Amino acid sequence: MTLHGNLLSRRVRIRTTPANLGLLALVAAFTVAISGGCGRHILTDYRPLVNAGMSSTSIEQLKKLDFSDAETPQLVSAKRSGVTDYTCVTLVTDAHQHHHLFASADAVTSLAGAGFSEPQILQIASADKLDTLSGDAVTLRLIGLSDSTVQIVMQRRLQDQPTLSSAEIARLKNTGLTETQILQRINRGMDDTQADKEILARETARNHDNTGFVRIRGRRR
């Protein structure tokens, strides 16, 4: 073997010693920690949150939650809908606890605009059902149900109990049932299939009542 070959062989052996491998692994782990952990907050632009009215204390709380850049516009939108810093931070916390980023600003904005309180919004968020329940919840408000009835319906949905969809509740109301009567059916566990049968029966009965024969008398010639 030539002198150059001996030196190359020795150089390779030095690079692959256990000590060097351990050092390389330590450097690699440190690099990953810097790029994937708190280091990414160095480049995060928090000015949109500041401009939306969020305090520096709340922003520091978001940093501790490993807040993502993609969540910034979501929180800006939620903040502009009128919710507090506490709710914004809690929304991110709940989303991360369910192993995903907060991306439900539209649902929060709709619920807030329909008059739902922040505790009610956070209750839905804690169950990770903002996107699935917000539309139905807003419709319940539009139907004109009282706050207590809306709360009962939402509680049943959050607990995965049988209940009526907002569309079926509206149809029942259109057949002439009062809110109290509808609530009685909800408390009995009526589902959409059962509601549909009652709606058809009530509509058939109503249509039958409106088809009575009326004899029109004319003047005799």
Q: Residues 137, 52: one domain? A: yes
The verdict on residue 4 lying in a domain is: no
Q: Residues 67, 131: one domain? A: yes
Q: Residues 48, 138: one domain? A: yes
Q: Residues 52, 133: one domain? A: yes
The verdict on residue 17 lying in a domain is: no
The verdict on residue 20 lying in a domain is: no
Tell me which residue range forms the domain holding 182: 162-208
Number of independent structural domains in the chain: 2
Strands, DSSP E only, in 91-196? none
Q: Residues 51, 110: one domain? A: yes
Q: pLDDT tens digit string along 22-73?
A: 444 444 443 444 444 444 455 678 899 999 999 999 999 999 999 999 999 9
**What's the longest Cα–Cα distance across the chain?**
137
Residue where one domain finishes, among candidates 93, 113, 142: 142
Q: Residues 125, 55: one domain? A: yes
Per-residue pLDDT of the chain (221 residues; tens, 9 = 90+): 544 454 444 444 445 555 554 444 444 443 444 444 444 455 678 899 999 999 999 999 999 999 999 999 999 999 999 999 999 999 999 999 999 999 999 999 999 999 999 999 999 999 999 999 999 999 999 999 999 999 999 999 999 999 999 999 999 999 999 999 999 999 999 999 999 999 999 999 888 776 554 455 555 55
pLDDT score, position 84:
97
Beta-carbon contacts of residue 84 (< 8 Å; ≥ 6 apart): 118
Q: Residues 132, 193: one domain? A: no
The verdict on residue 105 lying in a domain is: yes
The verdict on residue 94 lying in a domain is: yes
| Residue in 156, 161, 169 with CA at minimum distance from that of residue 195 | 169
Q: Residues 200, 129: one domain? A: no
The verdict on residue 87 lying in a domain is: yes
Q: Residues 92, 129: one domain? A: yes
Beta-carbon contacts of residue 135 (< 8 Å; ≥ 6 apart): 107, 110
The verdict on residue 6 lying in a domain is: no
